Amino acid sequence: MTTAQQPLQQNLPPPVVAALLPNDSQWDERDLLPTSAALIRLPVSIPVWTHIPISGLETIVRLYWVTGLTQHLVEERKWDSDQYPVIPVDQLLFEVPVIRLVQGLHEVWYELVTPNGDINASDGQPVSIDLTPPVIGVVSPLVFDTDTITEQYLFDNGGQAVAQVPVYNDFKPGDVIVWYWSSSQSQVLPSDEVARRTLLRGESQPLSLAFPGEEIVRRGDGDRFAFYRLRDRAGNETNYSERVKLAIMAQPVPRLLPSPTVAEAAGSSTSSSLDPYRARSGATVVIPDAAVFKPGDLIEVQWSAPGTYGAYETSTADATGKRFSVPPQYIPQHMGRKIAVYYRVSGNGPVAESDHHELSVQILAGERWPTVQCTRPGISSGRLSLASVDGYATFRLSRWMFMGVGQRVSLTLSSTGAPLPVLDRYEVVQHDIDNGHLAVDVQKVDLQAIPLGALNVEVRVSFDNGASDVLFPRLNLTLEQ
């Protein structure tokens, strides 16, 4: 045969198996046929080639299926050139019988005999068939770290229950795991499904499955059954795993947060009145025994509204866990006012606030406050003689109850003339407290400007940053020459 008479070879692409899953580097299997496609005859399409009909001759296509070392002729088709100058596309669709679709690696290819006698073999299309589920037979149950799930368990474990899937041999990327939560020991409802996920490359065993706490609570208390099943990328499913029985007691316990009381005050459980003298060493906020808490709760007492002057917060309780101390420096700011006393609970879900206790803080009786004294020169029978004043006179106010840094003190000398302000909202400093008194000198020349006769020395102290004043007992003198 001369070169001109040699058969014309065509580069034929492989047949098309449309049912194959897409190849992807994240999965191990390539050219994988879904299990469902292996249960029926498998369509295979022959790509259109360059067809040159020759009258009186025919075109032949033979489709082959290869399993291991065995090659099977699936079907041979012939087309008479006189009848088929153009071969219809629908006649290029073949079907591989189900009997050939067995477990393993296969290849499908075709042979083309053209009218002039040329014989061409196509490239092969691999077909991987997996009909084996990830686990055959009994599927081991999930492993929990408890058989009882309570509200506290969920709180202690990040709001979920986590189970481990026992190691199985045919573990590979692309496997899908579905897990369930049911009230039935045998029945499976669509609503029992909790979640599903596809296993990605790099994951390792044992796998962990999370059962969200909100789902556990929503599905109610009682005996519940947790289980799972596996499905590989081809679609082979295992049986449902053995079920794990769990006792569920996770419904939130309603908090009962009645208002607190103040031990030093007199009144009811919801309102009371406090004599500041009884709280001169501080006040005690008491949580009632009727309050219902949960393990892990954090209790924080609030004394007056947050952000207001003299407000105080504390989470430090005594050994009982229900008595909280308010230092004495947070008492006088509220004299003559009503404040709210309550507590907040956090640590198990949203912050909850108790009922409020309305506390009326009385103004301390006048006799509880010291009276300012003139200590230089000494006063005789309530008389201050200018002749005895050598340069200046000293007025001294002994340390008073609740004396604290930042309190404002005003001291005024009054007679029949215009008042003489000696101190005008002076801010107490630590040195005054350490000394145990507050002293101020009034120059003799200033005293000489005051009309002789009755002289009143008046002291006012503000405990609330200047918003109001408390009048201390007056010192009544007679100023004489």
Q: Give the domain ranges of the chain.
A: 3-129, 148-249, 261-361, 367-480
* CA distances from residue 471 to 285, 363, 395, 468 in whole angstroms, order as listed: 29, 10, 16, 10
Q: What is the pLDDT of residue 278?
A: 97
pLDDT in tens, the chain (481 residues): 333 334 456 789 999 999 999 999 999 999 999 999 999 999 999 999 989 999 999 999 999 999 999 999 999 999 999 999 999 999 999 999 999 999 999 999 999 999 999 999 999 999 999 999 999 999 999 999 999 999 989 988 999 999 999 999 999 999 999 999 999 999 999 999 999 999 999 999 999 999 999 999 999 999 999 999 999 999 999 999 999 999 999 998 888 999 999 999 999 999 999 999 999 999 999 999 999 988 778 999 999 999 999 999 999 999 999 999 999 999 999 999 999 999 999 977 789 999 999 999 999 999 999 999 999 897 878 999 999 999 999 999 999 999 999 999 999 999 988 999 999 999 999 999 999 999 999 999 999 999 999 999 999 999 999 999 999 999 999 999 9
Q: Judging by DSSP bridges, how do beta strands 125-129 and 32-33 pair with one another?
A: parallel
The architecture that CATH gives domain 148-249 is Sandwich (2.60)
Q: Which residues contact 187 (CB under 8 A, 6 or more apart)?
A: none
Q: Which residues contact 397 (CB under 8 A, 6 or more apart)?
A: 370, 372, 373, 409, 411, 437, 438, 439, 459, 472
Q: What is the pLDDT of residue 296?
A: 79
* CA distances from residue 50 to 47, 53, 87, 209 in whole angstroms, order as listed: 10, 10, 11, 56
d(CA 164, CA 446): 89
391 residue type, one letter: G
When the candidates are 2.60.40.10, 3.40.50.1820, 3.40.50.180, 3.40.50.300, the CATH number that belongs to 3-129 is 2.60.40.10
266 residue type, one letter: A
Q: What is the pLDDT of residue 2?
A: 31
Q: What is the pLDDT of residue 109?
A: 98
Q: What is the pLDDT of residue 9?
A: 61
* CA distances from residue 73 to 94, 126, 138, 176, 267 in whole angstroms, order as listed: 12, 16, 39, 36, 102
Please indicate, yes or no, whether the overall pTM of this predicted structure exceeds 0.85: no
Query: How large is the greatest C-alpha to C-alpha distance in the chain, in angstroms?
Result: 156
Q: What is the pLDDT of residue 253?
A: 81
Q: Are 21 and 32 in contact (CB under 8 A)?
A: yes
The CATH number of the domain covering residues in 261-361: 2.60.40
Q: Are 177 and 209 in contact (CB under 8 A)?
A: yes
Q: Supply the DSSP string of 28-69, one letter for each residue.
A: S-SSEEPGGGGGS-EEEEPPP------TT-EEEEEEEEEETT
Same fold, 3-129 and 148-249: yes
d(CA 240, CA 242): 7
First-to-final CA distance of the chain: 156
The CATH number of the domain covering residues in 367-480: 2.60.40.3880
